[in-house]
Amino acid sequence: MAQFTKQLKKIAVYTSGGDAPGMNAALRAVVRTARGHQLEVLGILQGYIGMLEDIVKPLSVRDMANIIQRGGTILKTGRCPEFQKAEFRAKAVETLKKHEIDALVCIGGDGSFRGALSLWKEHQIPITGVPGTIDNDIFGTDLTVGFDTAVNTALFAIDKIRDTADSHDRVFIVEVMGRNSGFIATYAGLAGGAEEIFTSDGNTTVDKAVDRIREAQKNGKRSSIIITSEGQKPGRAYDLAESLRKKSGLDAKVAILGHQQRGGAPTATDRILASRMGAMAVDGLMNGVCNVMIGIEKGSLVQVPFDVATGTEKKNDPELISLSYRLAK
Ligand code: ADP
Ligand code: F6P
């Protein structure tokens, strides 16, 4: 954690990386908390793109009306590969200086926090972060804003797929998002009663999946759901289906859930998390705290230095996968 002494008058907030349900709720909390502290608030549009291209607008308390329930981000977001280069970050700092921005709140994933960390190290811009990503792949927080909604969206689809799988006695492979992490697969798998869960860390194999399905069939089970994370080792869902067919003759249908997992109204859990984290991100700045992400551990908010959050791998919970296997009989 770092400290700064500057008296704050004006802060800016931006959303960055993949959008996540609850980003708007976090934004609302940031703006309204900051206005409560008499701070002026600017919104930077499209994440680091807006910081580079000077796309900035004032945000009022009223601008935050009716957004707590909306998915996506009203500030827009973006991926901005140039921001990984110091010369572009220096250009972004010119935008911040031009608008006399004293500090920033970044709502985004670990990539966004890497950018924030560099802004602090290179230019001493005070920043706090709210972890907003459906992937839940950020170290130092039990939950990221958007994860709970994404899991529920995936589950909604899995439940429907189970109906048709059951009617036809079929095997389904359902591919969920999560880039290189398996949290959505694990949680949606356990909650959806999956027979097999492939995550990106090579936790299982096609042979093991076949064994588990055959075992379940011996017990009279005639349909199966395999959940796979998009980044898992043997390949994407269609590769997995092909491999399953070659090894066992099992014919699996494939459903790729894709970007629907990123949209939709945030769950109560995500709205509450976003509200708490957004408020603390501003309160932290008011107390001179910066270069930290606001996380949640065992129900309490914590401040996690950006270098710890971005430099440490968050491990999936293998016990949840084992439990899924034990229960899907
Ligand atoms: P997320 O924030 O959801 O992880 P990305 O990984 O796409 O999404 O990161 C969002 C943005 O953060 C990138 O488009 C880029 O502008 C910036 N960023 C990512 N990695 C770095 C890095 N190592 N250094 C500086 N900026 C970065
Ligand atoms: O980080 C969120 C996420 O949805 C990942 O799960 C996924 O791999 C990636 O973003 C997709 O990114 P894009 O929408 O840019 O294709």
Residue 18, pLDDT score: 97
**Residue from 102, 110, 135, 270 carrying the catalytic annotation:** 135
Residue 285, pLDDT score: 98
pTM above 0.95, yes or no: yes
Residue 200, pLDDT score: 84
| Cα 18 to middle of ligand 2, angstroms | 6
Q: Give the residue, by CA position, lying nearest to ligand 2 atom 13.
A: 18
Q: For domain 148-262, give the fold.
A: Rossmann fold (3.40.50)
Length of the chain: 329
What is the CATH code of the structural domain delimited by 2-146+266-311?
3.40.50.450
Q: Is 48 in the pocket of ligand 1 (CB under 6 A)?
A: yes
Segments of the chain assigned to CATH 3.40.50.450? 2-146+266-311
- Are β-strands 56-58 and 40-44 bridged in parallel, bridged antiparallel, or unpaired? antiparallel
H or E element in which residue 199 lies = none
Q: Tell me which long-range contacts 242-248 makes (C-beta under 8 A, separation of at least 24).
A: 243/206, 244/171, 244/173, 244/206, 244/209, 244/210, 247/206, 247/207, 247/210, 248/210, 248/213, 248/214
Segments of the chain assigned to CATH 3.40.50.460? 148-262
Neighbours of 122 (CB within 10 A): 12
Q: For residue range 162-198, list pLDDT tens digits in order.
A: 999 999 999 999 999 998 899 999 999 999 999 999 9
Residue 256, pLDDT score: 97
Give 10-residue mean pLDDT values along the chain (329 residues): 92 98 99 98 98 98 98 98 98 98 98 98 98 98 98 98 97 94 96 94 92 92 95 83 94 97 98 99 98 98 98 95 93
Residue 283 annotated to the active site: no
Residue 180, pLDDT score: 86
Residue 204, pLDDT score: 93
| Backbone dihedral region for residue 25 (phi beyond 0: left; psi -120 to 50: alpha; all else: beta) | alpha
* DSSP character at residue 165: H
